Amino acid sequence: MDRLGGRKNNEIRDIKITRNYTKYAEGSVLIEMGETKVLCNASIEDRVPPFLKNSGTGWITAEYSMLPRSTHQRKVRESSRGKVDGRTQEIQRLIGRALRSVIDLKALGERTIWIDCDVIQADGGTRTASITGAFVAMADALYKLYKQKLIKKMPIKSFISAVSVGIVNGENILDLCYEEDSNAQVDMNIVMTDKGEFVEVQGTGEEFPFKKDQLYKLLDIGEIGNKMLIDAQKKALGQISDLILGTKTEVVIATSNSHKLEEIGSILKDFNVEILSMKDVNLQGLEIEENGTTFEENALIKAREVAKRTGKITIADDSGLMVDAIGGKPGIYSSRFAGENATDKENNEKLLKMLSNVNMSKRSARFVSSIAVVFPNNEEFTVRGTVEGKIGFEEVGNNGFGYDPLFIVNRYNKTFGELPSDVKNKISHRSEALEKMKEEFEKRFK
Active-site entry in 140, 318, 324, 422 = 318
Of 27 and 320, the one with the shorter C-beta distance to ligand Y43 is 320
Of 59 and 403, the one with the shorter C-beta distance to ligand Y43 is 403
Residues facing 171 on adjacent strands: 168
**Binding to ligand Y43 by residue 428, rule CB under 6 A?**
yes
135 is in an annotated binding site: no
C-beta of 175: minimal distance to Mg ion in Å? 57
The C-alpha angle 76, 80, 82, rounded to 5 degrees, equals: 115
Mark whether 318 is an active-site residue.
yes
Q: Select from 30-38, 107-115, 198-206, 249-257 the region that touches ligand Y43 (CB under 6 A).
A: 249-257
- In the DSSP assignment, the letter for residue 107 is H
**Binding to ligand Y43 by residue 257, rule CB under 6 A?**
yes
C-beta of 262: minimal distance to Mg ion in Å? 16
Alpha-helical segments (H) within 338-418: 344-354
C-beta of 363: minimal distance to ligand Y43 in Å? 16
**Binding to ligand Y43 by residue 323, rule CB under 6 A?**
no
C-beta of 359: minimal distance to ligand Y43 in Å? 23
**Binding to ligand Y43 by residue 225, rule CB under 6 A?**
no
Among 140, 317, 418, 432, binds ligand Y43 (CB under 6 A): 317
**Binding to ligand Y43 by residue 333, rule CB under 6 A?**
no
Among 116, 187, 296, 404, binds ligand Y43 (CB under 6 A): 404
**Binding to ligand Y43 by residue 335, rule CB under 6 A?**
yes
Spatial separation of the C-alpha atoms in residues 317 and 335, rounded to whole Å: 13
Cβ partners under 8 Å of residue 289, min gap 6: 301
CB 266 within 8 A of CB 425: yes
289 is in an annotated binding site: yes
Q: How many Cα atoms within 13 Å fall on the side-chain side of residue 235?
A: 10
Q: Return the residue nearest ligand Y43 (CB atom).
A: 402
| Interface residues toward ligand Y43, by CB under 6 A | 255-257, 260, 290, 317-321, 334-335, 347, 367, 400-404, 416, 428, 430
Which residues are known catalytic residues? 318
